[in-house]
Structure 1
Amino acid sequence: MSVASEMREMSVEALDDKMKALYQEAFNLRFQHATAQLENTSRIRQVRREIALIKTVIGERKAKEEV
């Protein structure tokens, strides 16, 4: 199952919780990167894309509710 389909099955509350956790992780990754402690720099990109995917799924649900 893809990440997008898994997120589409999650509730909005669960998506919000996951997004908050990802924002915190992104902050920590940026801090580690700035202090040259980050080994896996590609994780920054992965986290950014997961946040974007969550925002997209939430937007799809809001658009669907308005119709």
Structure 2
Amino acid sequence: MRRYLADTRAMIIFSIVCGAFIEIVIAGLSFDQSMRIRLSAIPVILFAGDPTEVTEIGYLSSQMERFPDN
């Protein structure tokens, strides 16, 4: 659960920072417009990121079982 929360927090922060940079610098939106878009995108980010996290944890734990440290 801790790993899930850490990954989710990192994904949201990364999305806000990178998305805001692109929207403000490249697209020319105002800071207010960019923050509205970023905040409204958080539910979508959480929905899209959840299956990715579950798959990643499942894959990594299966690989750790196959190749244990000696």
TM-score, structure 2 normalization: 0.38
Higher helix share: 2
The structure whose RCO (Cα within 8 Å, separation 6+) is larger is 1
Give 1 or 2 for the bigger CA radius of gyration.
2
